[in-house]
Amino acid sequence: MKSKIICTIPVYNGERFILQTLQSVAKQTLMPDRIIVLDDLSTDSTPEVVQGFRGVKVEYIRNPANLGLFGNCNRALDFATETEHLQILHQDDLIEPRFYEVMARQLEDCAGCGMAWCLDERIDENGRRLSVSGRPNGRVQVLSMDQFLRTKAEIGNQAFCATLLKTDCRETPCRFRTDIPILADAVFWAHWGAHCQKIVTVNLPLAKYRWHGDNATSSRAPNIDSLIVDEWRAMQINEALRKRNAGFLRQSKLKGLLAMRSGIKAKRYRQQGNATYAREIVRVARGITGPVIWLMGQVLVELRDLVVYSLLGRPKHPKNVYS
């Protein structure tokens, strides 16, 4: 019998937060038919925590070999043919009780492949709110294919925990790339969206993305290719899916966004005392954007930090180089 909703949870050494993640799934007003934890050969107490959970039935599967983060996400995609809706929920993130109820409703009239995602509240290790990924006004918007791909080329925010895929019990049209260790999800969303009959966003914070020092994105950050070069590559890959000629103005905008995003990273590393790596980020990113666009981007970075952190007083995680 096919499932309506399957929640997959890829995990590796997740003993610190996996219990909270499972508890958030157990509180759903619309329960998934199956909750599957895919353990990538954890060496901590993850197996004991998961197998000892009694809040709801959980299937625990231990991989025969370590697949890596996105390899394990691809393992999660193997369940697409067994369900109408599939979620990949990371081991340290949470979903609000009405997540499946609200998100599945948005895809009820979608025949075939679809995707819906909501806002995510960013929290720290202790559950303290850091920010929200947009304005929580409850607006529901169905995106055209070009609107969506345009946003993905600009690396618009879309969290795993906030995303529900409509698989319609079919094999997935794409997989996560393992050669882009930080932004494989951004490329995957774009390629999935290119096959969708419906793409919808919900401006409600129904998911919580946890930022902490052990995030996979944090561990991969001290690699200039993964941090900067791959970001530009992901932008170009996603832009190509639009099948339009990206003219001078469009490429300038993408370079401007890269300049801002890279400038934030360089500034955060300087603040953490790693001036050498900050200079390397500047060198590589500036080589892509050119000096003029780079300079304009840094002016906007400083203005943004002044408004967001000084005037508005938003809290900032000390190890988050992306914010």
pLDDT band at 314; cut points 50, 70, 90: confident
Quickly list H helices, the chain: 18-26, 46-51, 69-77, 99-106, 145-153, 184-193, 216-220, 224, 230-240, 248-271, 275-289, 291-305
CATH number of the domain bearing residue 171: 3.90.550.10
Predicted local distance difference test score (pLDDT) of residue 212: 80
pLDDT in the model for residue 217? 60
pLDDT for the residue 219? 55
Q: What is the pLDDT of residue 218?
A: 57
* Same domain? 10 vs 121: yes
Q: Are residues 189 and 54 in the same domain?
A: yes
Segment 37-52 mean pLDDT: 98
Same domain, 91 and 166: yes
Question: Is 321 among the domain residues?
Answer: no
Cα–Cα separations (whole angstroms), residue 319 to 50, 125, 130, 255, 316 = 28, 12, 13, 25, 9
Q: Are residues 129 and 261 in the same domain?
A: no
pTM for this predicted structure: 0.94
Domain that holds residue 286: 218-311
What is residue 215's predicted lDDT score, i.e. its pLDDT?
A: 61
Supply the pLDDT for residue 307.
86
High-pLDDT (> 70) share of the chain, %: 95
Output the pLDDT for position 134.
95
Mean pLDDT for all residues in the chain: 94
Instruction: Point out the least confidently predicted range of 84-88, 128-132, 199-203.
Output: 128-132
In a domain, 164, yes or no: yes
Q: How confident is the model at residue 214 (pLDDT cuts 50, 70, 90)?
A: low
Distance CA 94, CA 25 (A): 8
Are 277 and 192 found together in one domain? no
Domains: count for the chain: 2
